[in-house]
A = this chain, B = another copy of it.
Amino acid sequence: MKVIELNESVTESNDRDAQELSAQLTKKGILLVNLMSSPGSGKTTLLKRIAADFDGNPKMAVLEADIASDVDAVRMEEAGVISVQAHTDGMCHMDAGMTRRGLEAMDLDGVDVVFLENVGNLICPAEFATGAQKSVMILSVPEGDDKPLKYPLMFTESDALVITKTDAMPYFDFDMKKCEERVRRLNPDIRIFPVSAKTGEGMAALEDWVRSALSSLKNKT
């Protein structure tokens, strides 16, 4: 498994870099999905489940971004998924240049979808475009239904919200309806997918959404 060291990109415009990267990926028929969440929301478990369900069709790869450690990339590799671990040199988010360098370190031959597992942080990653054509935010049930009130930008910037660990609902005081209302007030067009990667509940709807984003992208190429 490859581990690469990245540091912040010195560039005039991250937004322009992100647009360029996004256009190049679309041209190659590759969908990049930027996954953002708090630490411990279940991103890696979710990705392992998606990889098992996709089973090579579409072919997926994972770019793991972390300040330190390679635990997530090791877990992905154990699950048989192409992955690279990027270390952000203490940085609390990925920018477009870092994402580009991460992708360059991967073997993307035949790959259809790359998931960027952004640094676990509900704040800073929302401020930096990565070049992903889709941004997905993950909120886990144990974190609570009040998070849209506290971290509004993340909810505004995402195309989809995945609410993970729904199997833990009986154990926590999480009001799904209230949460959805709060999210839609910030972002009326967001797609919301409550899922349990453990039981598989809700996974098909999320995976269909990824497949459909991929085919509309492939139609463009």
Contacting residue for A40 out of B38, B66, B149, B168, CB 8 A:
B38
Q: Inside 8 A of A120's CB, which chain B residues have their CB?
A: 38, 122, 150-151
Q: How many copies does the complex hold?
A: 2
Report whether A121 and B119 are in contact in the complex, using a CB–CB cutoff of 8 Å: no
Residue of B nearest to A171 (CB): B171
Cβ-based interface call for A69 (8 A): yes
Residue of B nearest to A144 (CB): B40
Per-residue B-contact encoding for A66-89, CB less than 8 Å = 1, 0 else:
111101000000000000000000
Looking at chain A's contact residues, is the secondary structure mostly helix, strand, loop, or mixed? loop
19 A-B pairs within 8 Å (CB atoms) are namely A38-B38, A38-B39, A38-B40, A39-B147, A39-B150, A39-B151, A40-B142, A40-B144, A67-B123, A67-B151, A67-B153, A69-B146, A92-B124, A120-B150, A121-B122, A121-B124, A124-B124, A168-B171, A171-B171
A172 to B142, CA, bound (A): 11
Report whether B38 and A150 are in contact in the complex, using a CB–CB cutoff of 8 Å: no
A48 to B153, CA, bound (A): 28
Cβ-based interface call for A202 (8 A): no
Contacting residue for A123 out of B92, B143, B153, CB 8 A:
B92
> Shortest CB–CB separation between residue A65 and chain B, in angstroms?
11
> Shortest CB–CB separation between residue A78 and chain B, in angstroms?
14
Contacting residue for A142 out of B90, B150, B168, CB 8 A:
B168
Report whether A71 and B150 are in contact in the complex, using a CB–CB cutoff of 8 Å: yes
Contacting residue for A68 out of B38, B69, B150, CB 8 A:
B150
A149-B39 contact, Cβ under 8 Å, with A121-B121, A123-B121, A124-B92: no
A114 to B171, CA, bound (A): 31
